[in-house]
Structure 1
Amino acid sequence: MKKILTGLAAFGLMFSGGAAMAQDAAHNVVEPTHFPIHKPAEQDWSFAGPFGVYDKGQLQRGFKIYREVCSACHSMKLVPFRTLEGLGYSEAQVKAIAAEYTVTDGPNADGEMFERPGIPSDHFPPPFPNTEAAAAANNGAAPPDFSLLAKARGVERGFPTFVFDIFTQYAENGPDYIHALLTGYDEEPPAGMEIAEGTYYNPYFIAGKSLAMAKPISDGQVTYEDGSAETVDQYAKDVSAFMMWAAEPHLEDRKKTGFRVMVFLLLFAAMVYLTKRKIWADVAH
């Protein structure tokens, strides 16, 4: 009898200890220690690689997403209207787009600020007068400016991936991250994970497990005139490409210049080598 009781006690201790260990393991699983929880998938961008170029149709669709959805909260204060010609718009179209916005100007002769329609030399006006107003309207978190976001945001690739990126010219971690974030809202948090009230779980968010921004886009929300798919995935790709253009409008010129420089350096190196051989060919060593 004593042996039976001793065995039952030992089994109870093992069971309780195992349950405690399981609880600890579950706690470690549901509370991540690094972010983002999931790494963004690498997308197929037209502007990727040393010979990449922007797809102007995609940029115009992305601009449409920004105007109809994102501009309600996010500013783009470093981008002037005149640069929209880089999206394929004519000068007249750019003037018409700028005129749709109201810009604060001044002071006038009386020392007062006034409002007027925008002109191509103006920058996109912000949706809120200041950071405090932006935060108050968005769950206490001011939405970031879109101007340089595609270059400022990006998930580190780690070793040895970043070594190969040197040769593949991969520099699209910003658009990849934005696309992943916009399409990651439909994933449910693991069982037991606590999400703060007023925030939304997104495993691709770079600064935590949830963020104050609710899911911004849904299927069929924006109408495309060119027949492109009106899905969250397509919307996310288009606005990510547009944000990349906003951050680096001269990307195509930079890549063309870089290619010409590399060709020059190769030809120059060959010329130096042949000159050296010509000069030292008949010199005894």
Structure 2
Amino acid sequence: MSKLLSIRLVGILVGVFFVLAVLWAFLTGAFAVIQEGELKPATAEHEFHEHPNQYAWSFDGPFGKWDTQQLQRGFKVYNEVCSACHSLKYVAFRDLEALGYDESQVKAFAASKQVPGVDPQTGEATTRPGLPTDYFPSPYPNAVAAAAANNNAIPPDLSLITKARHDGSNYVASLLTGYREVPAELKKEFPDFALSPTGHYNPYFANLGLAMAPPLTTAGQVTFDDGTEATVEQMAKDVAAFLTWTAEPQLVKRKQTGWPVLIFLLFATVLAYLSKKQIWAAAKRKDD
């Protein structure tokens, strides 16, 4: 009896020790975070950085689906505005068929672009009209040329941009519509804050200063084939939707596949439970 009591007592003491250790770790960690927050000076980037606006997207939610017309509008915005500086190196011309373009349209668009090639006579690097199997070409031959044309800021590839940024779709749309003058309140609170000579204030960008000039500036900058009014916000949302598709072309298909899988798993679970009840019911009768 005394031995059993000793074992229980040791178990209780060990449990109390671990509880106290976890509590101590939590308290010291919380204190360190609070102290760091108190000692760390406020910065303009921390105080004036804004979270992206939340837009309604057709592809959101478990039953989301692509709005094909929106994707086509977004592709047009990319092609006529963004492609001058930004590449889509992970997207092939033939992928555009998923947006509702037929084979002849894809071939014509690919042929209108010049892609890197090799001269069969000399073996030297050259360019040639694109084929549907080719990928979107970069607007610059290399990173040095890209930096030289953009004040030493290399424009990022946009293929996966909405995956590379938190809340990517909303981030891209907010960023494109977020250019503004530096707020007077920021200047007053942080008089030392200054943008670079080529910087543009945008509260949705991490350090508030964006090297890229506003790409979408006026309504009607792009003419949409379906008659949708091309406001700056509309163009921003459409190209953000298009870039969501380039980053996750299987997004909707994955959701559509997920529901049959969940239904199957639910059915299999119920079937397994009923089988277990039947098997153990027979075992119970034998025991009785």
Verify same fold: TM over 0.5: yes
CA offset digits 1:221-254 (Å, max 9, x no partner) = 1112322121111011000000011111111221
Q: Does 1:174 align with 2:168?
A: yes
* Superposition TM-score, scaled by structure 2 size: 0.78
Separation of aligned partners in 2, 1:59 and 1:117: 25
Alpha-carbon distance, 1:264 to partner: 1.2
Once the two structures are superposed, the pairs formed by residues 1-285 of structure 1 within 5 Å of their partners are 31-34=43-46, 37-106=49-118, 108-154=120-166, 173-186=167-180, 188-189=182-183, 190-191=186-187, 192=191, 193-206=193-206, 208-218=207-217, 219-284=219-284
Alpha-carbon distance, 1:144 to partner: 0.3
Maintained 8 Å contact 1:36/1:205: no
Maintained 8 Å contact 2:45/2:208: no
Alpha-carbon distance, 1:77 to partner: 1.1
Maintained 8 Å contact 2:147/2:154: yes
Aligned-partner SS, 1:34? helix
> Sequence identity, in percent?
52
Alpha-carbon distance, 1:35 to partner: 8.2
CA offset digits 1:166-201 (Å, max 9, x no partner) = xxxxxxx10111011111003543334422211000
The one-letter code of the counterpart of 2:58 is S
Alpha-carbon distance, 1:282 to partner: 3.4
Greater Rg over alpha carbons, structure = 2
Larger relative helix fraction? 2
* Superposition TM-score, scaled by structure 1 size: 0.79
Separation of aligned partners in 1, 2:212 and 2:49: 17
Alpha-carbon distance, 1:108 to partner: 1.7
| Partner in structure 2 of residue 165 of structure 1 | none
Between the two proteins, the alignment pairs up a number of residues equal to: 238
Aligned-partner SS, 2:127? strand
Structure 2: gaps spanning 5 or more residues: 1-40
Maintained 8 Å contact 2:50/2:204: yes
